[in-house]
């Protein structure tokens, strides 16, 4: 038996079954011993051996309790790359337990971000699809839902990356590198988003990944680990929740942290590849226009929607992922950035365009009209130009969400449940916006029934110095 197959057998012995009951076999003990004797005591292998020891301990005294699926890999995979606006995997797990019990459940997240819903569905063996307008989100969600990679191969390729990286391949290509050029030309480098030395190291890792002779799937997984390392280690940025530049680092251990991330991914893949998981598809697109995605969405129709859409809260998703967009070479200039912004539900004043007309869909809505009048009255005394756009963004936001709710409807089964996790807002001159209630009224106008507005949690908003209420709006598609 070759090494790869031997690992597979060892891990199969401890995989979680569809019933959610952990199963162990004495085979795991022998497999663990084989691992101990077959592998040198490198740091990588020590990690593995630690894992086998846990397996062996459990095999000798299996716990008698039934484990819910979430407990099998609590938090695993999600942290390969997380966004600041990502929601709780536990919340998604709870909603899936409540609403996805029917056979042939198929779940949709039309604002999937980095794939929290999709990963939770995979863990439970449920098929799912995710859509997002931001290429970074789609990239992350797609990598996090590809569990077909072999962890040994990943670690072997990491060594090749190390060789490429330490051969110092970069000097003559650095100045022409598209990531460097974008960060330099936009002033992000001079404004200190990332310092020159860590940037050079990160770009060097990027080139080392490119040089690998392997499939796209492995390269993409390495690239996701690099994006995470750029955010957490190389860059000088923090989120509070909006992005700001923090203390400047002159240097950072970019390659070391990148390796740690890959080892974590390899560890999770060892667990994940042996779960009987669901299938997932990720599409880049605008969830206000589902018809354009018809051919890619596949069948059957969706029985459940779980998502956290944008809020009207001056939150610019492209700014918060600008470094990743630059590293993926998805933005090269203002126009490429603008195209991404235009696909998004309007939720901030820097992403609103003269030709926007989603507001036309909600002009007759009385509660919304009252909110907009209050914002306009408060804005009248402000001297900065953006204040005049606050009411416009609010209207465009709700118009865009109404368009989304109408366009998704034909893709849902009769009786399908939709769960939208949304926060109330008062970002615009402290005027309260009860997001879930307004969305619910708009949903009813396009043919849904409101099941419930369920309080999820209260959150402190530093910017508005207030408690923000977050709700789950639960809707049903009637026949």
Ligand X SMILES: C[S@@+](CC[C@H](N)C(=O)[O-])C[C@H]1O[C@@H](n2cnc3c(N)ncnc32)[C@H](O)[C@@H]1O
Pair 34, 27: CB distance under 8 Å: no
String marking each residue 259-288 x if it binds ligand X according to CB under 6 A: ---------------------------xxx
Please list every residue from 49 through 108 that binds ligand X, using CB under 6 A: 83, 85-87
Question: DSSP state, 248?
Answer: P
Residue closer to ligand X, measured from CB, 27 or 86 = 86
Instruction: Tell me the site size for ligand X, rule CB under 6 A.
Output: 23
Q: Which is nearer to ligand X, 144 or 220 (CB)?
A: 144
* 149 touches 269 (CB < 8 A): yes
- Which residue's CB is nearer to ligand X, number 267 or number 341? 341
Q: How many CB atoms lie within 10 A of CB 444?
A: 13
**The token pair that represents 209 in the structure block:** 């990944």
Which alpha helices (DSSP H) does 211-293 contain, by range?
A: 216-229, 254-272
The residue assigned the tokens 């408690």 is: 467
Q: Which residues of 9-36 are buried (b: 16+ CB within 10 A; e: fewer)?
A: ebbebbebeeeeebebeeebbebbebbe
Cα–Cα distance list, 427 to 134, 255, 430, 454, 461 (Å) = 23, 39, 6, 22, 9
Shortest separation between residue 357's beta carbon and ligand X, angstroms:
15
Q: Indicate which single residue of 16, 273, 280, 308 sits in contact with ligand X (rule: CB under 6 A).
A: 308
For ligand X, the closer of residues 99 and 111 by Cβ is 111
Rule CB under 6 A: choose which of 96, 126, 131, 225 binds ligand X.
131
Phi, psi of 56 (to 5 degrees): -65, -40
Q: Name the closest residue to ligand X (Cβ).
A: 113
Quick check: 317 binds ligand X (CB under 6 A)?
yes
Smallest separation, CB 54 to ligand X (Å): 29
Residue closer to ligand X (CB basis): 48 or 315: 315
Cα separation, 319 vs 243, in Å, equals 8
Stretch that binds ligand X, among 45-53, 66-74, 130-138, 212-220 (CB under 6 A): 130-138
Is 134 an interacting residue with respect to ligand X (CB under 6 A)?
A: yes
- 8 A C-beta contact, residue 345 and residue 397: yes
Among 32, 198, 278, 310, which residue interacts with ligand X (rule: CB under 6 A)? 310
Among 69, 113, 278, 312, binds ligand X (CB under 6 A): 113
CB 310 within 8 Å of CB 83: no
Q: According to CB under 6 A, which one of 128, 137, 145, 440 is a site residue for ligand X? A: 137
Query: Which residues contact ligand X (rule: CB under 6 A)?
Result: 83, 85-87, 111, 113-114, 116, 131-134, 137, 286-288, 308-310, 317, 343-345
């Amino acid at each position: 038996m070759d090494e790869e197959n031997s690992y597979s057998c060892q891990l199969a012995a401890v995989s979680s079954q569809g019933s959610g009951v952990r199963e162990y076999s004495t085979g795991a003990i022998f497999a663990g011993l084989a691992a101990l004797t077959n592998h040198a005591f490198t740091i990588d292998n020590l990690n593995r051996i630690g894992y086998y020891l846990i397996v062996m301990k459990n095999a000798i005294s299996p716990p008698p309790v039934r484990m819910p699926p979430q407990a099998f890999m609590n938090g695993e995979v999600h942290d390969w790359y997380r966004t600041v606006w990502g929601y709780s995997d536990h919340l998604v797990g709870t909603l899936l337990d409540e609403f996805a019990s029917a056979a042939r459940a198929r779940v949709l997240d039309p604002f999937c971000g980095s794939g929290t819903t999709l990963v939770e569905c995979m863990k439970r063996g449920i098929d799912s699809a995710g859509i997002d307008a931001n290429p970074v989100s789609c990239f992350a969600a797609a990598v996090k839902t590809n569990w077909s990679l072999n962890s040994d191969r990943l670690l072997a390729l990491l060594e090749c990356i190390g060789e490429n990286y330490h051969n110092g391949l970069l000097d003559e290509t650095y100045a022409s590198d598209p990531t460097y050029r974008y960060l330099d030309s936009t002033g992000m480098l001079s404004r200190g988003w990332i310092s020159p030395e860590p940037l050079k190291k990160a770009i060097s890792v990027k080139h080392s990944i490119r040089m690998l002779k392997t499939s796209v799937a492995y390269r993409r997984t390495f690239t996701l680990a690099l994006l995470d390392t750029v955010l957490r280690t190389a860059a000088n940025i923090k989120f509070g929740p909006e992005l700001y530049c923090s203390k400047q680092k002159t240097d950072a251990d970019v390659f070391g942290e990148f390796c740690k991330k890959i080892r974590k991914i390899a560890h999770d893949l060892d667990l994940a590849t042996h779960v009987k998981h669901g299938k997932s598809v990720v599409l880049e697109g605008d969830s206000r226009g589902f018809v354009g995605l018809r051919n890619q969405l596949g069948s059957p129709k969706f029985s459940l929607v779980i998502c956290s859409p944008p809020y009207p809260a001056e939150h610019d998703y492209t700014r918060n992922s600008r470094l990743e967009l630059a590293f993926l070479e998805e933005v090269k200039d203002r126009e490429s950035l603008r195209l991404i912004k235009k696909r998004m539900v309007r939720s901030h004043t820097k992403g609103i365009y003269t030709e926007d007309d989603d507001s036309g869909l909600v002009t007759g809505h009385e509660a919304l009209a009252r909110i907009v009048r209050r914002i306009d009255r408060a804005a009248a005394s402000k001297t900065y130009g953006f204040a005049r756009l606050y009411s416009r963004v609010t209207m465009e936001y709700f118009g865009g969400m109404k368009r989304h709710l109408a366009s998704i409807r034909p893709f849902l089964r009769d009786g399908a449940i939709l769960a939208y996790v949304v926060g109330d807002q008062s970002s615009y001159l402290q005027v309260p916006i009860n997001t879930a209630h307004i969305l619910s009224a708009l949903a009813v106008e396009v043919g849904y029934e409101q099941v419930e507005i369920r309080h999820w949690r209260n959150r402190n908003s530093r910017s508005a110095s207030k408690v923000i209420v977050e709700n789950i709006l639960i809707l049903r598609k009637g026949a």
